[in-house]
């Protein structure tokens, strides 16, 4: 892809002019990341953004977070509500501290966008507690176990430990995965990127496997996720993610 | 747990008023992290803080580090000396750069607390070189190998490589683990959180196994550590830590 | 660069045949990583390997570590002694657990190479305790402060905390940076990659600044390090590293 096309992609994705590259890294950003990766078919720009936002949020380099959050909102690809829902899902899989940082960035970049557009940016309204879901604990745990099975395609753990009981059954599957605001497929894309960053072998295998075996993400889409992820989180972890997806797919074929 | 109880826990832990939640992430912070995780019995608030400080230090999102360091010191749960000793231990297991950052935060938050209390905050006194431990190399390496066995419950490595010789036997077990200022149990909690962040399989297994098999940390306490850790570093690595602890415990029972 | 040239580079770097790419990720590995990044002039293959080994070691995806350690040793680009010295330096900046894993890999891959060559692979000899350096603590701390200044081009910290006293002055600059086995320039390259992975702002700035301002690494070489790093640890952290280097360079020019 020529420079002009790469610069156009940069403009569309980042919602600002591409800087003239002054270093090999900047040249590769233009030629590889924006020239080769972002314009590929097979995955929507919104889906590529979920992968990218997860990567920059986890990498927690300040500027890339600012730039990609701004671009996601400013492009109109993501609504504010979806971005804030993303933060909660990201917190679960990449931890609270990085989520806290990216949430602050979303608020600041949103205020900046409103200001650039000459709009008022008041405080967000306090959320309704009814949105917190079931408060019959037995029912919540039961429903959490069901959701666990639906999402992971394996048996739910018995709630024998604080992690599985208060964590997995009550909160992660008893509430977070059931929330509106992001589709299950979007939650899968974000989760796949998170477990690829983590690269603990078991969660990596189980979430990539469930994404593929549920049919929510095709192998071709997963291959695109792998490349988008490798660009933003490196070819080392990219190889681990790609290898895991390939191994799961090969097993399925047998 | 109702909102009022969650807000009271927030106040006790963070030593400031809980913000009104305006996003899904903030609602879950109140309801899950402060409503469900922190108030659990089975692990002291100081121990939960070691896990949390390790997680926010490793995640290196600026605001959470500031807030949790301030809260740990301002609550009186941690003395300044213990916090500074934590930095050295954390440096060993999560690397010097993040430790350098959190040490700067501790100095700044401590100065802020002193100021809020109307106290003078002079420079810290320079430490005594005698505190650096044994300076007979043969004796130090011998004693380091002993400490390695005591802590890890496995054979010490022969000092065949710079890492095992100058690193493990001389410094990590020849000095750091033997320092006063933190109990061995506290060092274990911090180490377990660090290796869970890292999740290199061998160190994860060996430190979690030694913590349990030494009796320094009971299985019930480890289960609480897993949940506290999952809340702050994410459920992906939380699953790897919990799975490792469960596997070790199951083996032990056989 | 054509496929044939990229495959030749792959063969030279990885010391085995390039696999035929079956996914977009594998195609980008061939075309971008081996077709564009590795064959660039401006940084030796050994230096590119230090950046890469640091990245795969930090990412701790098992296969890439195995493959790059094998290739570094099998190519003859790195001697076993230098690789083992790397582990200690890497432990300091990226933490002991990941260092422990990569040291195990080095031992196993070295044994494999010896076997492939029909050579005997006995155990490594135990190192001499005299190699642990000065054991007069006052002198060691004094010399550590000197080395700190030499390496960082800023004032040494007073040893007021366990981290600065037992850690920085006694061990990191009182011993590790003074060890033979790697040149100071090589230690800088490894350190720059480590602090870029960590991306705590101060250590990133200070180590990149010292590398450039000492003249040990030219801006052109740093630019190559940034690209090599971005390929293996992702463009998010790559942007933070590149931005830091550019900002330091711009200040210098003023």
Q: What are the DSSP calls for A137-157, one per residue?
A: HHHHHHHHHHHHHHHHSSPPP
Encode pLDDT of B194-250 as tens digits: 999 887 778 899 999 999 999 999 999 999 999 999 999 988 888 889 989 999 999
What is the mean pLDDT of each successive set of 10 residues along chain A, which is 254 residues long?
A: 89 96 90 94 97 91 90 97 94 88 92 94 81 87 95 90 87 94 97 88 90 96 95 90 93 82
Contact A51, A228 (CB under 8 A): yes
pLDDT digits (tens, 9 = 90+) for B40-76: 999 999 999 999 999 999 987 778 899 999 999 999 9
pLDDT of residue A163: 83
Instruction: Choose the closest CB to B127 out of C124, C130, C165.
Output: C165
Determine the Cα–Cα distance for residues C100 and C106; give it in Å rounded to an integer.
10
Contact B131, C170 (CB under 8 A): no
The CATH label, of 1.20.1290.10, 3.40.50.300, 3.30.470.10, 1.20.120.160, for the domain at B3-15+25-35+44-118+175-253 is 1.20.1290.10
**Chain A: nearest CA to C42, how far in angstroms?**
10
Asked if residues C37 and C65 have their Cβ atoms less than 8 Å apart, the reply is: no
Domain ranges of chain A: 135-173
Question: Could you give the residue ranges of the DSSP H alpha helices within A117-218?
Answer: 137-152, 162, 184-198, 201-213
pLDDT digit string (tens) for C129-169? 999 999 999 999 999 999 999 999 999 999 999 999 999 99
ipTM value: 0.87
What pLDDT score was predicted for residue C168? 95
Arithmetic mean of pLDDT, B96-106: 90
CA distances from A197 to A235, B54, B133, B204, C101 (A): 11, 19, 39, 17, 18
For chain A, first and last CA: distance in Å?
A: 38
Q: Is A198 on the interface with C (CB under 8 A)?
A: no
- pLDDT tens-place string over residues C69-113: 999 999 999 999 999 999 999 999 998 888 988 999 999 999 999
Residues of C in contact with A238 (CB under 8 A): 25
pLDDT value, residue B97: 85
Of the residues A166, A200, A208, the best mutation for testing chain B's interface (the one with the most B CB atoms within 10 Å of its CB) is A200
Query: In the prediction, which pLDDT does B254 show?
Result: 75
Cα–Cα dist C60/C44, whole Å: 24
Please state the φ and ψ torsions of residue A44, each to the nearest 5 degrees.
-70, 160
Looking at the complex, report in whole angstroms how far the Cα of residue C72 sits from the nearest Cα belonging to chain B: 18
Give contacts of B 45-84 with C, CB under 8 A.
60, 84
C181 at B interface, C-beta within 8 A = yes
- Indicate the residue of A97, A126, A195 with minimum beta-carbon distance to B64: A97
* Cβ atoms B185, B216 nearer than 8 A: yes
Q: How many CB atoms lie within 10 A of CB A76?
A: 8
Give the 3-state secondary structure of residue C117. Answer: coil
């Amino acid at each position: 892809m020529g420079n002009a096309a790469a610069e156009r992609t940069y403009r569309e994705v980042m919602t600002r002019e591409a800087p003239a590259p002054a270093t090999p890294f900047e040249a590769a950003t233009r030629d590889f990341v924006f020239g080769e990766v972002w314009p590929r078919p097979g995955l929507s720009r919104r889906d590529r953004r979920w992968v990218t936002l997860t990567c920059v949020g986890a990498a927690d380099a300040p500027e890339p977070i600012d730039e990609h959050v701004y671009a996601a909102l400013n492009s109109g690809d993501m609504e504010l509500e979806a971005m804030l829902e993303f933060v909660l899902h990201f917190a679960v899989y990449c931890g609270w501290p990085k989520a806290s940082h990216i949430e602050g960035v979303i608020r600041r970049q949103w205020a900046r966008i409103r200001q650039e557009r000459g709009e008022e940016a008041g405080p967000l309204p306090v959320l309704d507690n009814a949105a917190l879901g079931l408060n019959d604990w037995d029912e919540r745990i039961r429903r959490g176990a069901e959701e666990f099975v639906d999402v992971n395609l394996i048996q739910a753990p018995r709630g024998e430990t604080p992690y599985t009981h208060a964590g997995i059954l009550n909160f992660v599957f008893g509430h977070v995965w059931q929330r509106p605001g992001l589709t299950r497929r979007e939650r899968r894309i974000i989760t796949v990127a998170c477990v690829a960053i983590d690269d603990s072998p078991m969660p990596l295998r189980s979430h990539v496997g469930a994404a593929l075996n549920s049919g929510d993400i095709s192998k071709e889409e997963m291959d695109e996720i792998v490349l988008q992820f490798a660009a933003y989180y490196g070819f080392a972890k990219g190889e681990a993610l790609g290898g895991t997806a390939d191994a799961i797919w090969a097993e399925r074929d047998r």
